[in-house]
Structure 1
Amino acid sequence: MFSMRTAALTVSLAVAGLLGTALPHAQAAPAAQHSDASVCRGAGVDPAARIRYQADIVIDAPLSTIWKLQTDVEDWPSWQAPVLTNERLDHGPFRKGSLFRWTTPAPATPTTPATMLEITSTVRQLQRGACVLWSGPAIGEGLRIDEGVHLWRFEKVEGGVRVHTEETWTGAQVEADVPTATAALGWGLEGWLRDLKAAAETRDGRR
């Protein structure tokens, strides 16, 4: 049985298809045309991808705190335990075209070896304080996702800021078992949101 911490691993770890159990009470986002809530400057996740998931959370913290946590990518290891390293591959403000490379361990499964995943992400679109979209491959020894496309949107609402995230995966390995990969993606995104909420509310002194 997986521990709650395992269930809360970020998408970087879930990308390996590690969680073989069904995801309770979670449903993948249906394939559809992008709505206004599912794009960043007109761009969104892959509408043709077979593996997709979306989730939301309301965080009781200022938008500026949440935005800084999410876009100061080199600081991710301080609030996301599964992220071991993260480095910017460019300089200056986080913007469209920015590159970052991050790593996370992936334990062995019945069909794949234990390995270290390396994810190289490129920011495809960004609107400061509102949304960001990045994409890229995740590669490890015996594990690979050809492309993950990840959207984040931020909106002030009563009680704080609603954070919306969507992601799609493509690649032969993950598409060989769509239900398991979708469950893994779901656990990863839900865990990421919980970690972001805990970090933002703690740093802002709300908790």
Structure 2
Amino acid sequence: MFGTRRAGIRAAAITVPLVAALLGGAAAPAGAHSAKPAKGLSCRGVGVDPAAQIRYRTEVVVNAPLDVVWKLQTDVDRWPSWQRAVSSAERLDHGRFRAGSAFHWTTPIPPEVGIPATGLDITSTVRQVKDRSCIRWTGPADGEGLHIDGVHVWNFTKVRGGVRVSTEETHTGPQVDANVPLATGILRAGLDAWLGDLKAAAEARAPR
């Protein structure tokens, strides 16, 4: 994709912070997540993009009731209150969180990137959902010089002492496809950070 090695390095330097901002940026707390399991996730029989080169799956056990975890994850308007990388979030429909629900959210781009854009705009649409069990959403993320098409699956399973939250995501797009190992590593860091924030927020709200 890049004409010279120098051009490739410059493009990667721009892409890395952008994708990191999109995916969560900050590292998860030590011990917050498990190693990547092998089997892919699904919701109502549908999983992530099977053709995507960039994919990652991970999970965490949250020591909180399922109702608390589910409420945090599906109350999109309140994401900025517990997700460090989400600067705004808005449901585009009303009522229960359901197939067809859509939401628009933004995340800042670090100022050291040195480009005019100040954030990424993401519009996600829920494709499949099973109450307190699973969610699958898709949607584009756009910023200056970056476009990603993402597919994200979440599973929620009761376990002793809490909930196992499992998540898997795939990305496609010309910028991220240009360096699959790098983009996959960034995706890994972002998902681990999301789970770390979800775990911390849910456990803080759990009944004592």
The bucket for the TM-score relative to the shorter chain is 0.7 to 0.9
**Mind listing any 5+ residue stretches in structure 2 that lack a counterpart?**
1-16, 27-33
Q: Which runs of 4+ in 1 moved over 4 A?
A: 26-30, 108-114
Give the match for residue 22 of structure 1.
none
The structure with more helix, counted as a fraction of residues: 2
The one-letter code of the counterpart of 2:150 is G
Give the match for residue 168 of structure 2.
166
Q: Distance in 2 between matches of 1:58 and 1:27?
A: 12
The one-letter code of the counterpart of 1:180 is L
Give the match for residue 76 of structure 2.
73
Instruction: Decide whether the 8 Å contact of 1:12 with 1:104 is kept in 2.
Output: no
Is 1:13 equivalent to 2:16 in the alignment? no
Match of 2:47 among 19, 44, 47: 44
Mark the CA change 1:12 to 1:153 in structure 2 (over 3 Å): closer, same or farther. farther
Encode CA deviations 1:20-61: one digit per residue, 9 max, x unaligned.
xxxxxx98777x8x5xxx110011101110000000100000
Instruction: Decide whether the 8 Å contact of 1:12 with 1:119 is kept in 2.
Output: no
**Mind listing any 5+ residue stretches in structure 1 that lack a counterpart?**
1-8, 20-25
Structure number with bigger Rg: 2
Report the Cα offset of residue 176 of structure 1: 0.7
Encode CA deviations 1:175-204: one digit per residue, 9 max, x unaligned.
011111111100000000010000000011
Instruction: Decide whether the 8 Å contact of 1:14 with 1:184 is kept in 2.
Output: no
Q: Distance in 2 between matches of 1:174 and 1:108?
A: 20
Mark the CA change 1:155 to 1:15 in structure 2 (over 3 Å): closer, same or farther. closer
Mark the CA change 1:163 to 1:192 in structure 2 (over 3 Å): closer, same or farther. same
Is 1:54 equivalent to 2:57 in the alignment? yes
TM-score after normalising by structure 1: 0.80
Match of 2:159 among 154, 157, 160: 157
Q: Distance in 2 between matches of 1:181 and 1:14?
A: 12
Instruction: Decide whether the 8 Å contact of 1:113 with 1:142 is kept in 2.
Output: no
Q: Distance in 2 between matches of 1:121 and 1:109?
A: 27
The one-letter code of the counterpart of 2:21 is L
Is 1:184 equivalent to 2:186 in the alignment? yes
Alignment map for 1:105-184 (pairs within 5 Å)? 105-107=108-110, 115-145=118-148, 147-184=149-186
